[in-house]
């Protein structure tokens, strides 16, 4: 029977490889549609040698390739432990789960240790199973593992060490393993708590900015919300959209926001209130200086980056001191350019305008 199964594997391996790619794309798409960020998806089709060893280890259990449920396997690695159950629910609604062969290894037995994952054996259900792109795969079972990144880290280290259960470990080492597993579990819980606190803080900041309660320290969240809600920011962005003939405003990512926060810190602007006052009192010179600066650099603009108002505000603040060395210090602090002549170019341009 072993040779029969291996021969069947040889004939169908290409189908498994095709299915592997389709499943990765499908599962990633389903997760994304539900607004969940994940660390990644891993997948593999067992090689012939591994399959042969599996058959040897469980003689008389397998009567065909379709009885081996993990020939094709995928692993979803989440950032947060609570997303494991969320993704599990997505899987249950989109696929048929073989409950008899599936298991939640997070529920540990007394003779086990560590920090394990959720394992499902699943296959396609209607109507997807009848679609032309999936119909040739609809009888193939596959395994999906879902685990947090900390669970994944534990599993990788556990695999490298080579122990599978507590009874294999010398007694004096068991407490150390248990302590590490406990720390990882606690870390997962704390990360979830931090995530929820960030959500709550974001809602509070949004409400305060809308109500013009701007005595907020500038951070990634408060600055991003301010850029999306403030009328002065909108006015300046629209000005730059017109002069650059851009089509849209591109909202900034975390790295861009971090740069703006760093640049504002050079001038001691550490609250949204201070930032608002600085923009309001300088909006016309920001528009003029930005327009003149952009006219010196030929570039085709498809979008204006949200935060461009802060970029040119900082240029104005640097030049207001009427000290070229101060402008150079700002350029060096913000790592704005490797061209040593640009601070003087900016300084001269500003003085022509004012």
Spans of the chain below 70 pLDDT: 59, 106-116, 162-169, 252, 298
Give DSSP secondary structure letters for 288-317: HHHHHHHHTS----SEEETTHHHHHHHHHH
Instruction: Write out pLDDT tens, residues 285-295.
Output: 999 999 999 88
Q: Write down the domain spans for the chain.
A: 2-185, 220-353
pTM here is 0.75
Question: What are 97's strand-pairing partners?
Answer: 122
pLDDT of residue 351: 95
pLDDT, position 110: 42
Summarised one tens digit per residue, pLDDT across range 120-131 is 999 999 999 999
Contact 51, 6 (CB under 8 A): yes
pLDDT digits (tens, 9 = 90+) for 90-108: 999 999 999 988 888 765 5
Q: What is the mean pLDDT of the chain?
A: 89
As assigned by CATH, the class of the 2-185 domain is alpha beta
What pLDDT score was predicted for residue 166? 55
Task: Count CB-CB contacts under 10 A for residue 185.
Answer: 17
DSSP secondary structure letter of residue 252: P
Q: Cα(143)–Cα(69) distance, rounded to whole angstroms?
A: 6
Alpha helices in the chain (DSSP H): 2-33, 48-57, 82-94, 149-161, 171-210, 220-229, 231-244, 254-266, 272-295, 308-320, 324-334, 342-353
Contact 69, 75 (CB under 8 A): no
- How much of the chain is in helix, strand and coil states, percent to nearest 5? 60, 10, 25
Give dist(CA 141, CA 32) in Å, integer: 23
């Amino acid at each position: 029977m072993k040779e029969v199964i291996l021969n069947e594997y040889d004939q169908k391996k290409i189908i498994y490889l095709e299915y592997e790619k389709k499943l990765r794309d499908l599962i990633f798409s389903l997760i994304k549609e539900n607004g969940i960020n994940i660390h990644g998806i891993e997948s593999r089709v067992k090689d012939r040698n591994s399959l042969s060893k599996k058959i040897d280890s469980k003689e008389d259990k397998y009567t065909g390739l379709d009885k081996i449920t993990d020939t094709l396997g995928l692993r979803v690695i989440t950032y947060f432990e609570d997303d494991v159950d969320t993704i599990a629910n997505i899987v249950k609604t989109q696929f048929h789960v073989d409950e008899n062969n599936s298991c939640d290894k997070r529920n540990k037995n007394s003779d086990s240790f560590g920090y394990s994952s959720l394992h499902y054996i699943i296959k396609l259900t209607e109507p997807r199973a009848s679609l032309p792109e999936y119909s040739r795969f609809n009888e193939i079972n596959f395994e999906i593992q879902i685990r947090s990144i900390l669970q994944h880290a534990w599993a990788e280290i556990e695999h490298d060490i080579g122990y599978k259960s507590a009874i294999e470990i010398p007694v004096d080492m068991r407490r150390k393993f248990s302590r590490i597993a406990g720390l990882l579990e606690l870390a997962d819980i704390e990360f979830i708590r931090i995530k929820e606190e960030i959500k709550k803080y974001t809602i509070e900041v949004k409400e305060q900015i809308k109500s013009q309660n701007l005595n907020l320290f500038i951070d990634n969240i408060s600055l991003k919300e301010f850029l999306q809600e403030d009328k002065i920011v909108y006015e300046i962005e629209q000005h730059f959209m017109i002069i650059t003939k851009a089509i849209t405003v591109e909202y900034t990512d975390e790295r861009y926001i971090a740069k703006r926060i760093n640049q504002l810190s050079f001038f001691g602007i550490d609250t949204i209130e201070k930032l608002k006052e600085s923009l309001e009192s300088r909006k016309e010179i920001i528009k003029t200086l930005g327009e003149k600066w952009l006219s010196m650099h030929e570039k085709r603009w498809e979008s204006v980056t949200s935060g461009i108002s802060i970029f040119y505000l900082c240029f104005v603040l640097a030049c207001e001191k009427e000290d070229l060395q101060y402008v150079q210090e700002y350029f060096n602090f913000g790592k704005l350019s490797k061209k040593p002549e640009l601070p003087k170019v900016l300084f001269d341009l500003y003085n022509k305008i004012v």
